[in-house]
Amino acid sequence: MSARASRTLRVGLLGLAAWGVLLLAALEGASLVLFYAATGLGFSFKRTAQEQAAVIQAWVPPSDAPAPVPTTAAPAPREGAVEGRPENTPRDQIPHPFMGYVYDPESPRSLSRVGRGGLRLTEHGFFSLPAPPGEGEEVSVAVFGGSVAAYLAVDGRAAMARALAAHPALRDKRIRMYSMALGAYKQPQMLGALAYLMALGQRFDAVVELDGFNEVALSYGTFKTRGVFPGYPRDWDELVRPVPDVDQLRRIGRVAYWQEWRTAVARRFASRPLSWSVTAGLVWKCVDRVLGGELAQARAALVNRAAVGYRYRERGPVRHYATDEQLLADIARIWSGSSVQMRHLCAGAGSLYFHFLQPNQYVPGSKPLGPDEKAAAYRADSEYRVPVEKGYPLLQAEGARLAAQGVEFHDLTSLYAGIADPLYIDTCCHVNAKGNALMGEAVGKVIAAGWKR
């Protein structure tokens, strides 16, 4: 090839490359416009990375064991990424004679995940949190509740410890957090867990109960759809069925299927070079909405299955309520009565007791939801919306009565009222690391203000 032909070829290739760059720039520019049209927000690489990390972290494998962030072909850790997520599905939950159910600490899946960053389970089936570094006197704080409380114990414990350290009596102490919170736990399970652990000799300096959502949302739903006694644990009918329900196993499989697909897609788009592209971010956003919708439908089918031929073993005592308000009032009564008994147990053991009503996006006016957060975390047809809207005022009224009786009760439903940044990460109740840190700080300040040792 002559020198002139070689130069011509190089010029041609450079021209093609320039056109390619121009087309790519035009595509990225168009994607910026389309992203705003689809979400109402300007595109942000940081926010997209955080949302993808939240999807990856919220992945629930087909077991109830602690779920680490998947590591196979995963991108480098991102801001807010936390390993060892306290997630579960009702596959490896096992009945417990006093606490309803726990997670099986001898499950091979659980043990295998510990080696990949998962949280270890204690001998009693709760998540084991690492001890604080250093030496010196420990102050023990135990967190009771459902999955929101479990996330608080993981993502919010540092903020809680900082708030506690502001108290002069706690400044030089090592704050040791214990998680006694499991997915879908609701009263009186926390009361039973505290009584059982105390009977075995366990003592805590402070006991934190964070709950409310599971009581009104899950107790309401399982009674309305399957007639299960509101005071029984979630999925008690499945835990004690003498014969496995094949249709229910299929429903669990569908949840696991869509969970795995959603996290796989998020992981792929969070990897380079796709993580550098506005167009790829737009495509991921659209695909994730579809996958998230399928997952929400699969979860709803899992919860709202019909009871066929249930007897006392599966449903417990028979209750009849004339209205939904009567059902929710009974649930709120069980909830507040359990809190009073937990306070009595703590007082008898020399422990401080603090009860918090958890925030939730379905509480009207509790948080401004932008278009992006609303698309990810709010559904008008959610099975949780009605019981939260009707049930939370009853919980708040019961909470006021608890406070009047001397219980350290605090309503956190307005904690996020002035925060426009996205915090909720699903259509249920969970928040991201920032939301948990804010909650941890608020809980820590209350404990510090009420510290009487």
pLDDT tens per residue across span 54-70 = 777 654 333 333 333 32
Residue 108: the pLDDT is 78
8 has a pLDDT exceeding 80? no
Are 76 and 28 members of one domain? Answer: no
Per-residue pLDDT, 71: 29
Domain, as residue range, for 141: 47-449
Average pLDDT over residues 15-20: 58
Instruction: Tell me the helix, strand and coil percentages in the chain, rounded to 5.
Output: 50, 10, 40
Section 75-84 average pLDDT = 35
User: CB of 82 within 8 A of CB of 154?
Assistant: yes
Compute the CA torsion angle 68, 70, 75, 79 (nearest 10 deg): -30
C-alpha to C-alpha distance for 82 and 18, rounded to whole angstroms: 41
Looking at the structure, do residues 421 and 300 belong to the same domain, yes or no?
A: yes
Q: Which of the given ranges, 15-24, 35-44, 100-109, 319-328, has the highest pLDDT on average? A: 319-328
Structural domain total, the chain: 2
pLDDT band at 419; cut points 50, 70, 90: very high
Give the mean pLDDT of 314-339: 96
Residues 217 and 274 in one domain: yes
Q: What is the CA radius of gyration of the chain?
A: 24
433-449 and 157-165 helices, crossing angle to 10°: 30
Q: Rounded mean pLDDT of 332-340?
A: 98
Which pLDDT score, from 0 to 100, does residue 115 have?
Answer: 60
Please state the rounded mean pLDDT for residues 28-49: 71
| Beta strand pairing call for 352-357 and 100-103 | unpaired
423 to each of 142, 364, 417, 434, how far by Cα in Å? Answer: 24, 16, 11, 7
Q: State residue 153's pLDDT score.
A: 94
Place of tokens 């009693």: 124
| pLDDT recorded at residue 238 | 83
What pLDDT does residue 38 have? Answer: 65
Looking at residue 5, its pLDDT comes to 60
> CA distances (Å), 29 to each of 38, 273, 372, in order?
14, 17, 20
Distance CA 157, CA 140 (A): 12
pLDDT of residue 11: 54
Q: What is the DSSP-derived secondary structure letter of residue 270? A: T
Identity (one letter) of the amino acid at 242?
P
One domain for residues 141 and 158: yes
On the CB side of 187, CA atoms within 13 Å amount to 24
User: What does the alpha-carbon distance between residue 115 and residue 105 come to, in Å, rounded to a whole number?
Assistant: 14
CA of 125: how far to CAs of 65, 111, 197, 288, in Å?
10, 12, 12, 33
- Domain match, 331 and 356 both: yes
Q: Are 308 and 278 within one domain?
A: yes
Q: State residue 429's pLDDT score.
A: 93
Q: Which pTM does this prediction carry?
A: 0.75
Q: Contact at 8 Å (CB) between 334 and 391?
A: no
| Edge-to-edge strand ranges of the sheet holding 206-211 | 174-181, 138-145, 206-211, 352-357, 408-411
In 184-323, at which residue ranges do the beta strands (DSSP E only) sit? 206-211
| Helix (H), strand (E) at residue 138 | strand 138-145
247 vs 241: CA distance, rounded Å: 13
Phi, psi values for residue 136, rounded to 5°: 120, 180
Mean model confidence pLDDT for the chain: 83
Nearest by Cα to 413 from 346, 367, 354, 347: 367
Per-residue pLDDT, 309: 66
Looking at the structure, tell me whether residues 259 and 342 fall in a common domain. Answer: yes
- Quick one: 150 and 249 in the same domain? yes
pLDDT by residue (tens digit) across 155-176?
999 999 999 999 999 988 999 9
Quick: pLDDT tens for 221-260: 999 988 999 999 998 988 887 766 677 678 777 887 887 8
Q: Kindly state whether residues 119 and 210 are assigned to the same domain.
A: yes
CB atoms within 10 A of CB 206: 22
Are 84 and 154 in the same domain? yes
CA-closest candidate to residue 181, choices 220, 206, 208, 201:
208
Q: How confident is the model at residue 84 (pLDDT cuts 50, 70, 90)?
A: very low
Q: What is the mean pLDDT of residues 387-409?
A: 97
Burial 107-120 (b: 16+ CB within 10 A, else e): bebbeebbeebbbe
- Dihedral angle of Cα 295, 82, 146, 435, to the nearest 10 degrees: -90
Closest CA to 154 of 81, 105, 262, 94: 81
Q: Using the structure block, give the residue that is written with the tokens 């809980």.
A: 443
263 pLDDT higher than 50: yes
Q: Is the pLDDT of residue 183 over 50?
A: yes
Question: Does 176 share its domain with 138?
Answer: yes
CATH number of 220's domain: 3.40.50.1110
Peptide bond into 188 cis (omega under 30): yes
Tokens of 274: 């796709």
Average pLDDT over every residue of 347-354: 97
Same domain, 146 and 16: no
Q: What is the pLDDT of residue 175?
A: 94
**Beta strands 408-411 and 352-357, pairing class:** parallel
